Chain A
Amino acid sequence: MRIPSFVPLVESERRSRERVGFVIEILVWGYLALVGARIIWWDIILPFIEGYAIDDVPRAWALSIVEKLAYDSRYSEFSWTACGIVFAVGALIGAAVGVTGRGFGPWVASISKLQVNNPEDSIRIREHWSFARKEGVLLLALTILTGWVLTKVQLGKMVEVVGLQSFARLVMQLACGLPVIGQPLFVVLETLFNGIVALHNAVSGLFGTAGEPLTKFTLECVPTDASYYGNAVSKLLESVYLAFMATFFSVPVAFVLAFFGARNLTRHSAFTRFSYFAVRLYINITRSIEPIIWAILFSVWIGIGPFAGALALMVHSVSSLVKQYSEAIEGVDDGPIEALEATGASHVAVAWFAVVPQVILPYLAFTIYRWDINVRMATIIGLVGGGGIGGLLIQEQGLAHWTQVGTLAALIFIVVWTMDFLSAKVREAIQ
């Protein structure tokens, strides 16, 4: 498990890095074994063999394997005991690899900012980690394979006729709801889709493959009437103002918290180090609870409506802004901070005079972008009783009024596009 001396490491940390590398190595091989057994053997190879065993003409070898393992893809589960055993086997392999000190674990653990000065050393280092690189590639490949299996990627489904037909029908209805361009667009789509159907029928007739020819689309476009727009627009404005309130009131809170959440300003005393930890803990907890959950919490507390939605967005905006603000603070030029500290200024004065002028423009950009995000989120918040256009949207969707859903989506799009345009202009102006 030794990391050779030509790998640059801070000497005082070498022992602990070696231990960390060894542990990572064991975990990596445990993971590889687990994934290999669960995904490759259990989800890919065994079903393949089973396929031969339950074929019309069962193959004897496949049948014997399946019977011996008592495998049945419909019922059997990969037990926790099996997980434990496989992981333990992998961990043993990992320990064996770890002892050589050439694996992926020590490689990762030895990464540091230190420079290699001797060119011969850098060649030796490259050779030393050649196995580790292969292990890394294997790790990545197996992880992608696992992701593929777990997300149940089924490319075949994407070209199935029934799914495509339903998709096309829905698209046409949504398109019908668009203001002004709705009806012409509907006609264009109808012509296009029916053209594809005709082409499909012609081609399959030519080869004589398909049974029934596909039927043409016979939908009717009934555009949303004008009185509907009044209600929709007023709900939309409610969402926009709700988002504005949430953004506006979260800025001062985030502004103050950001200083306590920036690493470079919180090193000097135990209190500020604790404040850094506390602020980070707070923003990570509140950010990992989605605004939609906050909206439910607040609407239970103070009742369904825009106020609950605004509070939910505000909680989320504060933590997101603190994260962005404090990262902007961490990126400032240290020079002015040093210079003002050298004059004997207090920490508050250093933050105010040396840090704030440097971050004010990024802050403005972040804030406008946050408003933009909040307008979009306000529609989602409405889904759970947070007021605004979201409530209307979920209602129409529940009644399968797809034309109205299309209308609402178009209205939201207009607002989002306007916001994006404006924020781009403002960011340009304050460069």
Chain B
Amino acid sequence: MFQPRAQASWKISSEESGSQSSDALSPILSIRGVEKTYPNGTRALKGVSFDVPRGSFVAVIGLSGSGKSTMLRCINRIHEPTAGSILFDGQEMTTLSPKELRQARQQIGMVFQHFNLIKRRDVLTNVLSGKLGQIAELPFGGIFKRWPKEWIDEANEALKLVGIPDKALVRADGLSGGQQQRVAIARTLMQKPKLLLADEPVASLDPSTSNSVMQYLKILNENHGVTVVCNLHFLSLVREYATHVVALRGGEKVFEGKPLEITPQWFRDIYGEQAKEVEIH
């Protein structure tokens, strides 16, 4: 069984989490009528709206191609939304200048299905790359800056938190899938994010590794006060970890509520009449 391997060694203190978060009751993320049409004419999102309460663990579910990944990427504008409004911590994301956008992105962590590590670099460099946002305004994007000692300590600390402190100097492509995803989580830890976007973080992992990665996301959510928005495929994981669920189908929101409210009827609405629920333990 999974056991957390390290105590939470840091928490986002209230000073660090910024001045705009004064109103603890307002949603941290508020999405209104977001649309995305790709250059090839595909309408991936057709006006999606939902709120993400502060401190919640929101699961976004839906079939492949339903717009989940696009939705997540529109939040930090890795993909540019075509229309709509995205309010993150009281800040309108869609109208930010490139510099302001980089600053906003520092507060939004992201993990991916395929981990997206720099494969040929060691784990420590990968973790430290989470700090690049902070030195983005230096000349040449800070690429000639040496990593400060405190950051290296912080990176080792983050690796300890995700249970792989001994892998710091191993090349990233030498790790197993689950370990790579934990490196990716450590990378976002370096950002001390308020919001974590997870794009199918366990879809390419085996069931038991999946559970352990989800546990780390849960630790971030519960012990570090990071709000999580997570694309998921397995309803069993949704029921176990999520506090809220949003379901997309064909680029439109078809369900919003608590995990336990997903009835068999809702399930067929989301996944189609033929669908049958498969379990992951």
Q: Which residues of A contact B (CB under 8 A)?
A: 10-13, 113-114, 268-269, 335-336, 338-350, 352-354, 357-358, 360
Contacts and interface: CB of A to CB of B under 8 A. Distances in A.
Interface string B178-197: 00000010011001000001
B25 to A, nearest CB: 27
Contacts of A358: 118-120
A349 B184 CA distance: 18
Main secondary structure of the interface of A (DSSP, over half): helix
Interface stretch (B126-134, B207-215, B253-261, B270-278): B126-134
B218 interface: no
Contacts of B136: 344-346, 349
Contacts of B188: 343
A113 B38 CA distance: 14
A343 B187 contact: yes
Contacts, number: 102
Interface of B: 40-41, 73, 76, 78, 98, 101-106, 108-110, 112, 114-121, 125, 129-137, 140-143, 184, 187-188, 191, 197
Given A336-B116, A336-B117, A338-B116, A343 B141 contact: no
26 contacts: A114-B40, A269-B98, A335-B114, A339-B112, A341-B78, A342-B76, A342-B105, A342-B197, A343-B110, A343-B187, A344-B101, A344-B103, A344-B105, A344-B132, A344-B136, A345-B102, A346-B102, A346-B132, A348-B140, A349-B132, A349-B136, A353-B129, A354-B118, A357-B118, A357-B119, A358-B120
B132 A335 contact: no
A346 B141 CA distance: 5
A342 B188 CA distance: 9
A353 B184 CA distance: 15
B37 to A, nearest CB: 10
Nearest to B117: A336
Given A10-B41, A335-B116, A357-B118, A343 B130 contact: yes
A39 to B, nearest CB: 41
Nearest 9 A-B pairs (CB), nearest first? A344-B133, A346-B141, A348-B141, A345-B132, A335-B116, A349-B141, A344-B105, A339-B116, A342-B110
A268 B101 CA distance: 13
A91 to B, nearest CB: 32
A353 B132 contact: yes
A227 to B, nearest CB: 52
A340 B129 contact: yes
B210 to A, nearest CB: 19
A345 B116 contact: no
A345 B114 contact: no
Contacts of A11: 41
A189 to B, nearest CB: 53
Given A343-B187, A345-B141, A357-B118, 12 more contacts: A335-B114, A342-B110, A343-B133, A343-B191, A344-B105, A346-B102, A349-B135, A349-B136, A349-B141, A349-B142, A353-B132, A357-B121
Contact of A352 (B76, B116, B117, B143): B143
Contacts of A114: 40
Nearest to A334: B116
B112 A335 contact: yes
A379 B125 CA distance: 45
Nearest to B39: A10
B231 to A, nearest CB: 14
Contact of A340 (B40, B103, B132, B140): B132
Contacts of A353: 118, 121, 125, 129, 132, 143
A76 B197 CA distance: 76
A349 B116 contact: no
Contacts of A344: 101-106, 132-134, 136, 191
A347 B41 contact: no
Nearest to B80: A268
Nearest to B121: A357
A338 B112 contact: yes
Contacts of A350: 141
A336 B118 contact: yes
Nearest to A13: B41
A348 B41 contact: no
A186 B57 CA distance: 85
A258 B41 CA distance: 30
Nearest to A344: B133
A354 B131 CA distance: 14
A271 B38 CA distance: 23
Could you say which of A339, A348, A352, A360 has the most chain B C-beta atoms within 10 Å of its C-beta? Answer: A339
Nearest to B37: A12
Nearest to A341: B78
Given A336-B117, A344-B105, A345-B129, A12 B41 contact: yes
Contact of A343 (B106, B112, B121): B106
Contacts of A335: 112, 114-116
A358 B103 CA distance: 26
Given A344-B105, A345-B129, A113 B40 contact: yes
Contacts of B41: 10-13
Contacts of B115: 335
A186 B192 CA distance: 79
Contacts of A10: 40-41
Contacts of A360: 120
Contact of A339 (B40, B121, B140, B184): B184
Nearest to B188: A343
